Protein backbone atom coordinates (compact mmCIF):
# COMPACT_ATOMS: atom_id res chain seq x y z
CA UNK A 1 0.00 0.00 0.00
CA UNK A 2 1.19 3.53 -0.76
CA UNK A 3 2.46 5.29 2.34
CA UNK A 4 0.86 8.65 3.09
CA UNK A 5 4.31 10.27 3.16
CA UNK A 6 5.11 9.32 -0.47
CA UNK A 7 5.13 12.50 -2.55
CA UNK A 8 2.66 12.80 -5.42
CA UNK A 9 2.23 15.40 -8.15
CA UNK A 10 -0.76 16.74 -6.18
CA UNK A 11 -2.50 15.70 -2.95
CA UNK A 12 -5.54 14.72 -5.03
CA UNK A 13 -3.44 12.35 -7.18
CA UNK A 14 -1.86 10.87 -4.06
CA UNK A 15 -5.33 10.09 -2.70
CA UNK A 16 -6.46 8.62 -6.03
CA UNK A 17 -3.46 6.26 -6.06
CA UNK A 18 -4.06 5.24 -2.43
CA UNK A 19 -7.72 4.54 -3.24
CA UNK A 20 -6.78 2.39 -6.27
CA UNK A 21 -4.33 0.39 -4.16
CA UNK A 22 -6.98 -0.11 -1.48
CA UNK A 23 -9.42 -1.41 -4.12
CA UNK A 24 -6.75 -3.78 -5.42
CA UNK A 25 -6.11 -5.06 -1.89
CA UNK A 26 -9.77 -6.18 -1.77
CA UNK A 27 -8.97 -8.79 -4.43
CA UNK A 28 -5.94 -9.94 -2.45
CA UNK A 29 -8.20 -10.56 0.54
CA UNK A 30 -10.66 -12.54 -1.61
CA UNK A 31 -8.04 -15.05 -2.66
CA UNK A 32 -8.04 -17.81 -0.07
CA UNK A 33 -4.30 -18.28 -0.30
CA UNK A 34 -2.30 -20.96 1.36
CA UNK A 35 0.89 -19.42 -0.06
CA UNK A 36 2.25 -15.92 -0.40
CA UNK A 37 2.06 -14.54 -3.94
CA UNK A 38 4.41 -12.12 -5.61
CA UNK A 39 3.35 -9.43 -8.05
CA UNK A 40 4.21 -10.46 -11.60
CA UNK A 41 3.00 -8.78 -14.78
CA UNK A 42 3.49 -10.91 -17.91
CA UNK A 43 1.43 -11.57 -21.01
CA UNK A 44 -0.18 -15.00 -20.94
CA UNK A 45 -1.87 -16.97 -23.71
CA UNK A 46 -4.59 -19.32 -22.46
CA UNK A 47 -4.99 -22.32 -24.74
CA UNK A 48 -8.36 -23.49 -23.45
CA UNK A 49 -8.99 -27.26 -23.29
CA UNK A 50 -12.14 -27.85 -21.21
CA UNK A 51 -15.05 -27.13 -21.22
CA UNK A 52 -14.48 -24.97 -24.31
CA UNK A 53 -11.58 -24.70 -26.72
CA UNK A 54 -9.92 -21.62 -28.16
CA UNK A 55 -7.39 -19.02 -27.07
CA UNK A 56 -7.71 -16.08 -24.71
CA UNK A 57 -5.17 -13.33 -24.10
CA UNK A 58 -4.43 -12.37 -20.50
CA UNK A 59 -2.01 -10.60 -18.22
CA UNK A 60 -0.76 -12.04 -14.97
CA UNK A 61 -1.31 -10.10 -11.76
CA UNK A 62 0.47 -12.30 -9.24
CA UNK A 63 2.09 -15.73 -8.95
CA UNK A 64 3.15 -18.38 -6.44
CA UNK A 65 4.59 -21.86 -6.76
CA UNK A 66 1.02 -23.20 -6.76
CA UNK A 67 -0.80 -20.85 -9.12
CA UNK A 68 -1.27 -17.55 -10.89
CA UNK A 69 -3.83 -14.75 -10.98
CA UNK A 70 -4.84 -13.64 -14.47
CA UNK A 71 -6.73 -10.65 -15.85
CA UNK A 72 -8.82 -11.25 -18.98
CA UNK A 73 -11.61 -9.53 -20.88
CA UNK A 74 -13.65 -12.75 -20.90
CA UNK A 75 -15.07 -14.51 -17.85
CA UNK A 76 -13.54 -17.95 -17.30
CA UNK A 77 -15.82 -20.76 -16.05
CA UNK A 78 -14.71 -22.37 -12.78
CA UNK A 79 -12.87 -25.67 -13.29
CA UNK A 80 -11.87 -24.75 -16.85
CA UNK A 81 -8.62 -26.33 -17.96
CA UNK A 82 -6.04 -24.64 -20.16
CA UNK A 83 -2.39 -24.58 -21.09
CA UNK A 84 -1.10 -21.22 -19.84
CA UNK A 85 1.78 -20.01 -22.00
CA UNK A 86 3.54 -17.43 -19.83
CA UNK A 87 5.78 -15.11 -21.82
CA UNK A 88 9.43 -15.11 -20.88
CA UNK A 89 11.49 -11.93 -21.00
CA UNK A 90 15.02 -13.35 -21.03
CA UNK A 91 14.07 -17.02 -20.91
CA UNK A 92 11.85 -19.12 -23.16
CA UNK A 93 8.09 -19.01 -22.62
CA UNK A 94 6.76 -21.50 -20.06
CA UNK A 95 3.66 -23.65 -20.72
CA UNK A 96 1.78 -24.94 -17.68
CA UNK A 97 -1.37 -27.06 -17.66
CA UNK A 98 -3.66 -25.36 -15.13
CA UNK A 99 -7.20 -25.26 -13.78
CA UNK A 100 -9.29 -22.16 -13.11
CA UNK A 101 -10.45 -22.23 -9.49
CA UNK A 102 -12.55 -19.02 -9.51
CA UNK A 103 -13.28 -15.89 -11.55
CA UNK A 104 -14.53 -12.45 -10.43
CA UNK A 105 -15.49 -9.23 -12.17
CA UNK A 106 -12.51 -6.85 -12.11
CA UNK A 107 -13.97 -3.47 -12.93
CA UNK A 108 -16.65 -3.07 -15.58
CA UNK A 109 -15.02 -4.85 -18.55
CA UNK A 110 -12.40 -7.21 -17.09
CA UNK A 111 -12.21 -10.42 -15.07
CA UNK A 112 -9.72 -11.68 -12.51
CA UNK A 113 -9.28 -15.45 -12.25
CA UNK A 114 -7.26 -17.71 -10.00
CA UNK A 115 -5.48 -20.65 -11.66
CA UNK A 116 -3.96 -23.68 -9.96
CA UNK A 117 -0.85 -25.07 -11.64
CA UNK A 118 -1.02 -28.79 -12.43
CA UNK A 119 1.85 -29.77 -14.70
CA UNK A 120 4.61 -28.15 -16.78
CA UNK A 121 4.02 -28.95 -20.42
CA UNK A 122 7.31 -29.98 -21.96
CA UNK A 123 8.05 -28.80 -25.48
CA UNK A 124 8.92 -31.59 -27.92
CA UNK A 125 11.79 -30.96 -30.30
- Rounded to whole angstroms, the Cα distance separating 15 from 10 reads 9
Q: What is the mean pLDDT of residues 18-35?
A: 73
Cα-based torsion angle of the residue sequence 78, 83, 85, 91 in order, rounded to the nearest 10 degrees = 130
**For residue range 57-112, what is the model confidence (pLDDT) as tens digits?**
999 999 999 999 999 999 999 999 999 999 999 999 999 999 999 999 998 999 99
**Which is more confident, 98 or 17?**
98
Please give the mean pLDDT across all residues of the chain.
87
Given CATH 2.60.40.10, say whether it is the number of domain 35-120: no
- Rounded to whole angstroms, the Cα distance separating 105 from 107 reads 6
Report yes or no: 71 and 40 within 8 Å, Cβ to Cβ. no
Looking at the chain, the number of H-run helices and the number of E-run strands are 1, 7
Q: Quick one: which of 109, 124, 125, 119 has its CA closest to 49?
A: 119
- Rounded to whole angstroms, the Cα distance separating 84 from 12 reads 39
pLDDT band at 1 (very low <50, low <70, confident <90, very high): very low
Residue 58: partners with Cβ closer than 8 Å, 6 or more residues away: 43, 44, 45, 46, 70, 71, 72
Q: Quick one: which of 28, 47, 29, 43 has its CA closest to 96?
A: 47
Amino acid sequence: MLRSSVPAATPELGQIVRDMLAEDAEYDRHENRSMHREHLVRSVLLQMRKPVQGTILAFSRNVSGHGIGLITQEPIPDRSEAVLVIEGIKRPDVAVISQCRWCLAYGSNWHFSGWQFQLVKRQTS
